[in-house]
Structure 1
Amino acid sequence: MAPNKKKFSEDDVRLLEQAFRDVERLPGRKIKKKSAAQPKPKSGGTSAKNYRPTHKGVDTELRPAPKLPDLAHGETPGLDKRSAQRLKRGQMKIEAKLDLHGHRQEEAHRALNRFLAGAQESGKRCVLVVTGKGFKGEGPKYMEGGSQVGVLKENVPRWLNQAPNRARVLSFSFATQADGGSGALYILLKRLR
């Protein structure tokens, strides 16, 4: 029997492309090219919702992307030693800055998300985020010495490890004294591919 040479309709192709628009190839996985033979349509037609690959051994189950490991100050997985040292020493050019002083927690979180997304989209690599160090005072909520750990100083590293920011961030580290010390972070963003 001759192979079926019927082509998919434009609507089917458009739906299939739309369904696979956000799919990214997993690193380290190579795809073996198969023959250009198209699968036989089911009796119900060739609409995209009825389309099922007929290749044996092809896994079509959708799975969530693997969870990236959490980052901590100064940890640099996937970054070469020289770049990691340059980031920690403040020797990388700061291409954008976000000062979160005076922001409430919710608005600071939204501002951080917008800032990192915009910086990455515009091709920036190293950015500075100023969180502040906290308040000074007396009472049970203050540490010995009269200082309280700032809410943003504590939460920004946590937010960097949550979606969607974790997928954008390669590494982060406390800034040098000249750029804000422990009240600021250098953040190295991944390049868009």
Structure 2
Amino acid sequence: MSRRRKSLTEEDLILWSRVARTAVPLKGRTYPEEPEQPATKAPADTVQDLSFPAVTPVGAPIPPQTPKKKELVVRKLDQPTRTKLAKGRLEITGRIDLHGMTQDEAHAVLQAFLFRAYHSGQRYVLVITGKGSTGEGVLRRAVPRWLASDPFRQYVGSYEDAARHHGGHGALYVRLRKRGIR
């Protein structure tokens, strides 16, 4: 059985073009053209309100979008990089061990360490948190939150649990951002 492709009605095309104008087009693309409005007017009792409060009226020029400052986001380490770190093909240029520290001490020491590592041009470092004596350790839970928080985001590009021989779930591979790229 063949499927019959439905074409959009004139109203659907107009509605779709209005919705599409609220989206940001991909690089090198433009907004879709809106079809011409039909010249005939429908009776007042059958007209539906298709207006959207946040959409620019048809025919009005679209105001230029001001470029937003690129927000720094910390992501998971990509799999090929993690594999290379685990196998020793990428050098871990710095390590810090946070065992036995309180959260306040560990936070300050980690921030200072990452600051120095970033400014000395190091790319991959190992942060050892430990697994904790009962259940999941306090630092094991806190350090990933810290790495994604504001003061650390300017230095840290991504992080992931380390391989077993580097500490497994008690350590993190951290990729620092390149200097000058923020």
Indicate the TM-score class for this superposition, using the shorter chain for normalisation.
Answer: 0.5 to 0.7
Alignment counterpart, residue 125 of structure 2, candidates 100, 124, 127:
127
Deviation at 1:103, TM superposition (A): 0.5
Deviation at 1:149, TM superposition (A): 0.8
Structure 1 segments unaligned to the other structure (5+ residues): 1-27, 29-56, 136-146
Deviation at 1:178, TM superposition (A): 1.2
After superposition, the C-alpha distances for 1:102-149 in whole angstroms (9 at most, x for unaligned) are 1000010011110001000001011011000011xxxxxxxxxxx321
Deviation at 1:66, TM superposition (A): 4.1
Other-structure match for 1:167 = 154
Map of 1:1-193 to 2, 5 A cutoff? 65-71=69-75, 75-76=76-77, 82-87=80-85, 91-135=89-133, 147-193=134-180
Give the TM-score, by structure 2 length: 0.57
One-letter code of the match for 1:163? D
Between Structure 1 and Structure 2, the one with more helix by share is 2
Deviation at 1:69, TM superposition (A): 3.5
One-letter code of the match for 1:191? K
Rg (Cα) greater in structure: 2
**CA RMSD of the aligned region, Å?**
2.7
| Contact 1:90/1:175, CA 8 A, preserved across alignment | no
Deviation at 1:188, TM superposition (A): 0.7
- Number of aligned residues: 119
Deviation at 1:84, TM superposition (A): 4.6
The separation in 2 between residues aligned to 1:65 and 1:110, in whole angstroms, is: 28
SS of equivalent residue, structure 1 residue 101: coil
The separation in 1 between residues aligned to 2:111 and 2:95, in whole angstroms, is: 13
Structure 2 segments unaligned to the other structure (5+ residues): 1-26, 28-62
